Structure 1
Amino acid sequence: MAKVWAAIVDVDVEWWAVLVSIVAGVIAIWQARLAKRQAAIAEGAAASAVVQARAAEEQVEIMRAQLAGEEFDRLEARRPKFTVEATSIRTERDTGNQHFYTEVVLTQTGGRPLSSLIVSASGEYVEGMRDGKESDSQLFPVARETTIEGMSEGSGPEKVYVHFEYRHAAPVRVTLTLKGIERGTGHVWDNEVRHVTVDREPQVQARPYSDRRLRGRR
């Protein structure tokens, strides 16, 4: 009888060992699946975080672009605006020397008022700007730039004078660079460029002497 009970106990111990092993295997599989699921959830959350971060960056860039566009529009509304007209190439003499120049008329048509406008000229055959108004000097000194004091919309036209080399070929293309200093704030409005093309004054054809004699007898 003792042997029978011993055999039964051995069987029970083996069965319990198998059962424990099976349960342990099931638990291990479940833990592995749970860990895999948690890893997938974490990976999905990380991917979602990346997408959200990219979306936030795109929103920031859109806001920056909008602000930049609004700032550009605001500055453009304040930027001084001008019309530019030029006469033909004219000639003047002083102490036996001959000078060639053109008169440029600048009119401010919009934007902020200016305490001063600095005008410079460049181009082939361009010597520079006359330093002074039309009849301020008999020597016609030429400078790199000239300054107009005080301009605003409605203040009327202002004249500047561009001088050319003695030996030049017409027509001449002149590039004018305008640099305005805003009144009150001191803000500098530069890189404003205008182009004008000027030619010589048309020559007046004199009537033949014989034609004038006939017209005088009538």
Structure 2
Amino acid sequence: MKMKNLLLALVFVLSYFSYSQNNDNSHLSEANRVLLEELNAQEDARLTRVNTFLTSHPNVKAMLINDGVRLMYIYDVIDGKPIYRSTDNLEAARATKTVELWTGGSLGLDLNGEGMTVGVWDGGPADNNHVEFENAAGTDSRVTVIDFAVIDGDSGSFSSHGTHVTGTISANGTNPNAIGMASGVDVKSYNWNNDEAEMVSAVNDVTSPIIISNHSYGVPIDQGNGNQ
């Protein structure tokens, strides 16, 4: 139990440290600064609720594995009940006809995402060393890790689900069958802690603001125990 709480606390500390070190908010408007303060206060309150609940309920698991596959991690406590977050994803380049926007697509638009930046929030950062995330010259990664803490239960320095989702969005097509929806786009990779406040900062970033964000996670209906 002590180890569980220690690991959970470490994740929260690392997430907060990463967030605070990577955000200079002096350029934000007064309205956005106020919003950011409110969101950070809400995040602090959420973390306190989770830590307090786990301390007083030693038999409750911080992480669940549902059906041996899906990982769920406690995210909040509402009305005395733990709320878990889990990852999900839907590969849809063909289903949404995104392929028609690409170079060689039927629309003739040749849009592959070059010069644009998106944010991906997930259970942890993507593996930015993966060959599918290399730039066109093969000299650097198009994925910048902002939050280094992995919080969805994966071992190691990156989230396999976060990497998969980032690949669905931005893989360069080294493997033609794995090409992403925007194979030239740059990605900022986050974990889901403090996601709302981080989005405000990312949109207002001076050098490389994100134009859109992806969040392939949510609250599972069954909460891992069959209760809706």
Which range, TM-score by smaller chain? under 0.3
Kindly indicate which of the two structures has a greater share of residues assigned to strand. Answer: 1
Larger helix percent: 1
TM-score of the pair, normalised by structure 2: 0.20
